[in-house]
Structure 1
Amino acid sequence: MRYFKVTLVYSIAMVLLLFSSLVNAQTSSNLTYFIKSAQLNSPLLTDYNNQMLSTRIDSLKLRATYGFIVTAEGNASYAPNSKGWGYDNALTNGQSIFAGVRVSREFISRNNLSTRLKAYKNSIAQVLTQKDLAIQTLNRQITDQYIATYTSQKQMDLSTEIIALLSKEDLVLQKLTQKATFKQTDYLSFKVTLQQNQLALQQQTADWQNNYALLNYLSGIIDTNFHALSLPDLGEISFFPSFQESIYTKSFQADSTKLANDAMVIAYDYKPKVNAFSDGGYQSSLTHTPFNNFGMSIGLSVSLPIYNGHQKQLLLQQNNLALQTRKKYLEQTENQYQQEVFNLQNQIRHYDNMLGMATQQIEYAKALVEANAKQLPTGDVKMVDFILSINNLLNLKANIIQYNNALYTLKNQMKYLIIQ
């Protein structure tokens, strides 16, 4: 009884382990796995994340700049004077010493500070759009390579299927040839066809493994194993964002918002500036009651720019020129976007039609191969006709693989529409 329980527990553990390995294999062989791995391992995306964090730190530094600044200061000086030669003692007191704490603050309006802080928010928004475009570009690159690898896999599967079919016939034809009921030359022709497909399978296997290794390389994955890839899941492609919802419009909005805010910062730079300061500690010339020279002082400074060669107007002109340039780029990008959408939809429609026609034809090709295979041993069908029917089936299936490859690629371009 105890042996039975131990065996049962062991069996359950093995089943769970096998199930876990199958789940891991399935998880690591789909498109989502490679995309997530590429995003996680991308140094560019890490750079963008760190840029946004660094900009947030800059905003905290700006708040601190306009807060109270407390510094400890100390200085001592000595100006020697001999026989009337030297600095004027009325100015230098001969010697002086200061040690104390200074507190200062620049006062600006709440709107002024808010505007300057918005500059950092706008910079973060710009980096965020750049990051989104980088993610879109990375996803498209990984998906393209995944499609190429999956296509290589389907071509390999097709050769395996044809070889299985020919190997099945080989067993029958070999016996018939040995009994002299089947021509030796016909059998040799058949054998050459079989070996050609076996050689093609070796080449396709090498191509698949090379594409798989490149997919791992682009995704930042270190793995020497090869798993069968699942069907590329591109989601619903019939709906795609309009240009107004695209990353390019969002990028323009972020840029234009920043330029508008920069214009407000320029205006605030030419507003009056008020600074208040206070210090306390010890300051003395050491010439009269030095032990009593502990004290404090307060002060206020105001600066108002009057004339600097019309730099404010020039800066605003440059800001406006930058905005006009961005608008022109946006107009061109929108035209390219609409044209690219039209081209992709047109090509997808054509390949869908071609795929439908090829799928219908393949049923007839399969039926012809099966009929020829039955009649080949009886001599009712010539070997050349049998080989021709197999080649027709092979070509049709190869065409379907290529049509699907083209459709996957076009849909990937539609999903991650990038204007170069």
Structure 2
Amino acid sequence: MLHYNKIRQIIVSLYVVCFFVGMSFSEEASAQQTLNLDYFINVARSNNPILNDYSNQAFILKIDSLKLKSDYGFKLDGVVDATYSPVVNKWGYDITLSNAQSVTGIVKLSKEIIGKGNINSRKESYGLGIQQLVNESQITVQSLNRAITEQYINTYASQQQYQVISEVVHLLEQEDDVLSKLTQKATFKQTDYLSFKVTLQQNILTLKQCYAEWKNEYALLNYLSGIVNPDIQNIDPPTLNEDRFVPFEESIYAQKSNIDSLKLTNEAKIINYNYKPRLSAYADAGYSSTFAIAPYKNLGWSAGVSLSIPIYDGNKKKMQLRQNKLSQDTRARYSEFTRKQYEQQILQLQDQIMQYNQIIQVSNEQMVYAKTLIEANLKQLPTGDVKVVDFIFSINSYLNLKSGLIKYETNLYTLRNYLHNLIIQ
């Protein structure tokens, strides 16, 4: 019996090594076959229709900018006009006005003369519109990154929980083989073995539940990323190990405020330009005749200029500039409020991250004692020096501590995700 117990202790030691060291080894061995966070983020970006919409809108604005250049460039038009106004029994249009009949066929060249500052301001409005779309696209990307990362974290937590329960079940199954033989030889109480068996079955059921949860979380991750794939594959830990953040002055919200300010300033310039005198010039050449006198000589050309000077518009310009000023004030207030929210969120998240780092450190220290207790119980369980209820308690304590640690690490990852991808609601 002493010889058997000695062999038993050696076997138990091997099980312990497989349980506590094998998990980290298996994760490293399968690292080449796992997917990482960047993979899902990149796929989600490529599949997102909103980002494609922003890209198309920006291209449309570029085309509008080119159209603006055409609007203020030279225009060449061909004009053909033929009229006939009959007079019957002295009834009809006054012939001095209608010329009775006429034919006109000319080519007209025209151009509105506009100042360089005016045209540049109008072009700038399209450029700022494109910058706004780029900024909105960046906000969408950041929101998408945050959502994908959050679901990735939840999926990774479910994967970890499944792996822990799987290792515990594997250890209990190995132990079950030994205890079953000892029970058959009456060296181990049958009631204790039944208690152990119940614990094993409970953990097998928990394992199935964990697998179902892991599969659901993984399916949701695929759904958010636009991936159609029913298979489950191990994923790497989230790459969120640094408590970094972007200062407000460099954030997308500061960029948005700056672009909005530039756009409003440019709109004020355009309002002022709209009330400046407008000059246009034209020239035409062709044929125009009433056929009254020498119609074969009615080939010719003409040129002219047109000047439009705004005089009074019912104070519309003043009201438009007032509206623009109010919009600038509103933007400035929103920007300041957003800055305060942004900085407050950073301080709050940093404080929570510090607390969870401390909790995780304590939990890791407790895990050392929980592992040591299981090792000791596994060695003494077959000899009867440890009761089955104490062994079950040590297993449950380990699972509770490990589950708690996974939860704390998940919360820490989530807080870092919020810090990396800070969103102002």
What TM-score, normalized by structure 1, do the two folds share? 0.92
Alignment of 1:27-176 (within 5 A): 29-176=35-182
Aligned residues: 396
> What residue in structure 1 maps to residue 347 of structure 2?
342
Aligned pair partner of 1:206 in 208, 212, 235: 212
1:258 — aligned with what? 263
How many Å apart are 1:266 and its aligned residue?
0.5
Q: Percent identity?
A: 49
Moved more, 325-334 or 278-287: 278-287
1:413 to 404, 418, 421: 418
Cα distance in 1 for partners of 2:351, 2:340 equals 17
Q: Is 2:270 the counterpart of 1:270?
A: no
The more displaced of 153-162 and 330-339 is 330-339
Deviation, structure 1 residue 24 = 8.3
Looking at structure 2, the residues matched to 304 and 376 of structure 1 have their Cα atoms a distance apart, in angstroms, of 103
State the Cα distance separating 1:180 from its structure 2 match: 1.7
Gaps of 5+ in 1: 1-21
Deviations 1:248-296 (A, max 9, x none): 1110000000000110010000001011111122211233322222222
Pick from 223, 240, 254 the counterpart of residue 249 of structure 1: 254
User: Using the alignment, how far apart are the partners of 2:354 and 2:44 within structure 1?
Assistant: 31
The aligned counterpart of 2:10 is none
Q: C-alpha separation between the residues in 1 aligned to 2:228 and 2:108?
A: 58
Corresponding residue of 1:400 = 405
Change (3 A) 1:24 1:275: farther
d(CA) in 1 for partners of 2:90 and 2:421? 84
Partner residue of 1:284 out of 289, 294, 316: 289
Matched, 1:295 2:262: no
Q: Which of 200, 208, 221 is residue 227 of structure 2 equivalent to?
A: 221
Equivalent residue, structure 1, for 2:358? 353
Report the secondary structure of 2:300's partner residue.
strand
In structure 2, distance between residues paired with 1:394 and 1:57:
62
The alignment partner of 1:81 has SS state of: coil
Q: Secondary structure at the match of 2:106?
A: strand
Structure 2 contact 242–416 (Cα < 8 Å) conserved: no
TM-superposition CA deviations, 1:347-368 (whole Å, max 9, x none): 1111111100000011111111
Match in the other structure for 2:379: 374
Find out whether 1:304 has 2:309 as its counterpart: yes
Gaps of 5+ in 2: 1-29
Tell me by how many angstroms 1:25 deviates: 4.1
**SS state at 1:82 partner:** coil
- CA gap of 1:23–1:388, structure 2 versus 1, over 3 A, is closer
For 2:241 and 2:145, the matched residues in 1 are separated by 13
Letter in 2 for 1:321: L
Asked whether the 8 Å contact 2:31–2:236 carries over to 1, the reply is: no
* Residues 25 and 61 (structure 1), Cα distance of their counterparts in 2 relative to 1, 3 Å cut: farther
TM-score by length of 2: 0.91
- The amino acid that maps onto 1:180 is A
